[in-house]
Structure 1
């Protein structure tokens, strides 16, 4: 009992308490080398961009890119969930590897999902000679300070020519339109390097360098150095089953496969696309992504739109919002309502900040659908947009790996705003008293009393550690 109590105390101190203090400021070196002007282009870039908004097409795009991969596939995700889509994606990865494509898979060491019923699939990936698998900061019960720095990126890079980045993890809820228990609306972008022979001018070069940096970091490691004979036998059986599932899908859902997409003609031009990310380190990090986003906010004068699943601007984040030129009433925040949220823990932290936003005249809209919104998006003056994995909270700011692309393209921004209007039409504006302004065309989403009082009660607890939400 003494040992258990000591361990619990040790874990609380080094997994929770120490992260409440010492939030590093952005260094002068980073500031000097990363001016806000670098996000703006003067002429058309060699990179073009496609918005992947609709769930089904976002899945089709991934299948098509892997189906046509010739040299390399780099995969980086926070979470993989059991289901039809995961079987499809893993089957496509093994199919590409069979063709000689070199595949690297980088997953978070906690949330990767390749355990229990998917454990044998993990063996199948490791056992393939053309596939490498690594986990970011796997669980170490003796080092609780490593538990909070999670790998939150969502990247797919194909043949040095195509890249997908956004907020989607791998699972049915992100790609299947109907029949899911917790359906989630999200957003990706597909970036095309139209001149792959001149890689230096493309954002894909920045993304590949980042992937390599994480991949080669000592806190990133393979789950096994070598599989046992028993694990190899399971790997072969799992490989066989995944390929059989893929063959079955090719027969039953032919519309998924062998599609022709002229990605370039479908894409929109951009003056410049820039990749931003957080440092790769333990403990609280310098908030590079938050610094870059708030610098863009300071350049914004006419309109700022922010979409995040929840908004938890903790005290260490607030100084970066000083000196904004844009009036508060020109700022619009789109987020989940209590009815739509799928993350009650984070939402219990979010509710403590709603009042501060609306009393400052920020326009806060809460989505009332039966599904939830998970996309992370910023739009600055209808010209520049940011899309990626960054939630507007302390965890994304100081703890996780995070990445986004900054897109200087009025054409793309216009397309993005059109798609986001769907969510605004199903959202209600929060009034000063934190009720909703009346809308004759839309009623607030239904919320059970258990969820209502559960979130409110939880907020008193999570208020003590909002730095970890």
Structure 2
């Protein structure tokens, strides 16, 4: 009878009631396609929190505290937390991992609680670190629950933080349970607690320092170009005698760049290859994903190559990418996936941007796959450039070289196929995302049918004598600067004016020497880059100001672009025949750390088109002065306070970390 009264005391009945509310909350939240359902779900959750607040007070005031209640209350807490985590999987698929980890931890806690009861050990209830873990979990889960549409990086960071807190708490409980089982009581000495805290703090500080050093020190070494590669270079091989199988045209407008990508994807019959540094689920990114999914559903093989760091910040945890990956005929390949356990690999990035359709046509250039670079949406933009290359059917087309380059890249050990498991595939958020992509594709066809119409690329492209692909060597860690060296050699061999456009210029001594050597041989070398005021890259803006005199001392004629938006084009006019377009920035990172791709085109017509484009931009540029007030302008009152603060930090760090830029 006493045991029955203990089980059915008022505080324990409130605990049962709290558990019973869980399926009601989950059903309402899952069906919350209107404000009414959403508010009803939150009301049920509020009632659950209220009973949790009251049951302990009632138990203590009316002397209803029981050993069973000490177990039931945290179990009800954990079930509530787990239920909310389940609800979050409807929106954030990554919370499935949080839920699995949570269930494993609580299963352990339940088993150990029963073992301690069986051995007649004193049940103390939740310890301070358990309560702290519960508070942090509640705060994080409620943040995800009540603030929908958090930036992906924020939601991922919250989820991983909660998992880390649970891991630390689990470890501390493990030590506690070992002590309880061996001695029958837990040590509560403050001295040992302080020592343990200092030890943990010291370990964390040492781990952070080690992580930073391991991440940056391998990249201090910047290798020279090998004699074998130099001997293999022949400037004449970049020129052709007659008309090749390729035809080409520049794609300058952001809106046209998105439309041509949609057209390529919608017209593909066999295979689509898309390589991009960064892809987001914004307006243009969603349209690309919808088109890729539609192509895969009609039987086209879709291969998407993404950089590992951008994958972590934009893809992992994003239900739209999960929906795309779960589609038949889709493979998502990740280059050098970010891993905190291997920080020495972290600076090696995949920076190439191109899309190939059926070995017939491709786009290559410097555009990432999101709204800054694609589409006619309002808001911030980056001006960039693609070259569209059309294969008329010959075996000598450069499209075959680009396909081979892609296959060699994904065959490297640092590339891995993204597999997330059936658990995430079947989550409600992923299914909803797939349905939304399908609806979006239908809407795109209705609202802009022109971008789905086939065109004769021969009518909109120019004849080409020859196309060459220039890239850095494969693999991780510092690379020989093949792309930079090759472009410099082509410029040196040109006896007429050369114009370089680059978003930013960050050089080491070797690169300064190369530019000096070029300018001594060819006095007509001009370089246009963003003025500090328009440069969207904080590092690029600050380093340019700090090292401007060194750049001018090379003999380069510098123009500073001051248009409405940041200029992101990476192209070179070499004489009156060669045009180079691609992903290579004139900086140390592109030269030594990243994979990069430049398409070098021998065509007078394409060269003329690119020259006209250059002249349009250069009308909004001014010659760089040898000295001026750029440093003061970086921190003027017109600059937002946050930007000024970041620039000051970078200015202090620049001499120490510029070898990474």
Query: Equivalent residue for 1:346?
Result: 540
Match of 1:429 in 2: 623
Change (3 A) 1:18 1:316: farther
Q: Which residue of structure 2 lines up, in the alignment, with residue 440 of structure 1?
A: none
Cα distance change, pair 189–113 in 1 and its aligned pair in 2 (3 A): farther
Partner of 2:208: 8
Return the alpha-carbon distance in structure 2 between the equivalents of residues 306 and 453 of structure 1.
31
Deviation digits for residues 308-338 of structure 1 (CA, Å, limit 9, x no counterpart) = 1101111243444464265665121111112
Inter-CA distance 146–227: structure 2 relative to 1 (3 Å threshold)? farther
Indicate the larger mover: 366-375 or 453-462: 453-462
Residue 116 of structure 1: how far off its partner (Å): 7.0
Question: Match for residue 558 of structure 2?
Answer: 364
- Which of 310, 313, 316 does residue 111 from structure 1 map onto? 310
Measured in 2, the distance between the counterparts of 1:456 and 1:302 equals 41
Shift of 1:223: 2.5
Query: Rg: which structure is higher?
Result: 2
Deviates more, 1:369-378 or 1:338-347: 338-347
The 5 Å alignment of 1:312-351 reads 312-321=506-515, 323-324=517-518, 329-351=523-545
**Unmatched tracts of structure 1, length 5 or more:** 437-444
Q: Secondary structure at the match of 2:257?
A: helix
Q: Would the alpha carbon gap of residues 332 and 116 (structure 1) be closer, same or farther in structure 2, given more than 3 Å must change?
A: closer
Alignment of 1:283-322 (within 5 A): 283-321=477-515
Corresponding residue number in structure 2 for 1:43:
242
Alpha-carbon distance in structure 2 between the residues aligned to 1:467 and 1:332: 24
Query: Contact between 1:136 and 1:219, CA under 8 Å: does it hold in 2?
Result: yes
Could you tell me which residue of structure 2 aligns to residue 237 of structure 1?
Answer: 432
d(CA) in 2 for partners of 1:348 and 1:231? 47
TM-score of the aligned structures, taking structure 1 as reference length: 0.91
Matches of 1:218 and 1:231 in 2, distance apart?
Answer: 30
Q: Counterpart of 1:221?
A: 416
1:54-453 pair list within 5 angstroms: 54-112=253-311, 115=314, 119-180=318-379, 182-195=380-393, 198-199=394-395, 201-224=396-419, 226-228=421-423, 231=426, 233-251=428-446, 253-321=447-515, 323-324=517-518, 329-434=523-628, 448=639, 450=641, 451=643
Q: Determine which structure has the larger helix proportion and give its number.
A: 2
Q: Quick one: distance in 2 between partners of 1:412 and 1:103?
A: 30
Query: Which whole-Å deviations, capped at 9, do the CAs of 1:269-299 have from their partners, x for residues lacking one?
Result: 1111001111121110111111211111210
CA distance in 2, matches of 1:107, 1:116: 9
In structure 2, what is the equivalent of residue 439 of structure 1?
Answer: none
Instruction: Name structure 2 gaps, 5 residues minimum.
Output: 1-200, 631-635
SS in 1 for 2:372: helix
- TM-superposed deviation, 1:352: 2.5
Q: Is the 8 A contact 1:334 1:365 kept in 2?
A: yes
Using the alignment, how far apart are the partners of 1:122 and 1:374 within structure 2?
A: 26
Measured after TM superposition, the shift of residue 452 of structure 1 is: 6.1
Per mean C-alpha deviation after superposition, the further-off stretch among 328-337 and 205-214 is 328-337
Give the secondary structure class of the aligned counterpart of 2:422. Answer: coil
Higher relative contact order (CA 8 A, sep 6+): 1
1:166–1:404 contact (8 Å) kept in structure 2 = yes
SS of 1:365's partner is strand
Question: How does the TM-score come out when normalised to structure 2?
Answer: 0.65
Is the Cα–Cα contact under 8 Å of residues 297 and 328 in structure 2 kept in the other structure? Answer: no
Find the aligned partners of 1:302 and 1:456 in 2 and give their Cα distance: 41
Query: CA, structure 1 residues 25+357, in 2 after alignment: closer, same or farther (shift >3 Å)?
Result: closer
Give me the whole-angstrom Cα distance separating, in 1, the residues matched to 2:600 and 2:318: 36
The secondary structure found in structure 1 opposite 2:310 is: coil
Q: Is the 8 A contact 1:395 1:468 kept in 2?
A: yes
Say if 1:186 and 1:325 are closer, same or farther in 2 by CA, change over 3 A.
Answer: closer
Matched residue of 1:16: which SS? helix
Q: How many residues align?
A: 455
Deviation by residue 1:107-144 (Cα, 9 ceiling, x = unmatched): 00111377479611222122112101111111111111
Give me the whole-angstrom Cα distance separating, in 1, the residues matched to 2:345 and 2:530: 30
Over 3 Å counting, the alpha-carbon distance change for 1:236 and 1:328 in structure 2 is same
Q: CA contact under 8 A between 2:258 and 2:374: conserved in structure 1? A: yes
CA distance in 2, matches of 1:447, 1:377: 31
- Distance, in Å, in 2 between the alignment partners of 1:417 and 1:257 is 27
Q: Do the aligned partners of residues 457 and 235 (structure 1) sit closer, same or farther apart at CA in structure 2, a change above 3 Å counting?
A: closer
* Distance of 1:259 and 1:435 partners within structure 2: 52
Q: How far did 1:459 drift?
A: 2.2
184-193 or 31-40: bigger deviation: 31-40
Aligned to 1:59, the other structure's residue is in SS state helix
Alpha-carbon distance in 2 for matches of 1:127, 1:81: 18
- Determine the C-alpha separation between the residues in 2 that align with 1:39 and 1:187: 21
Give the deviation of 1:428 after TM superposition.
1.5
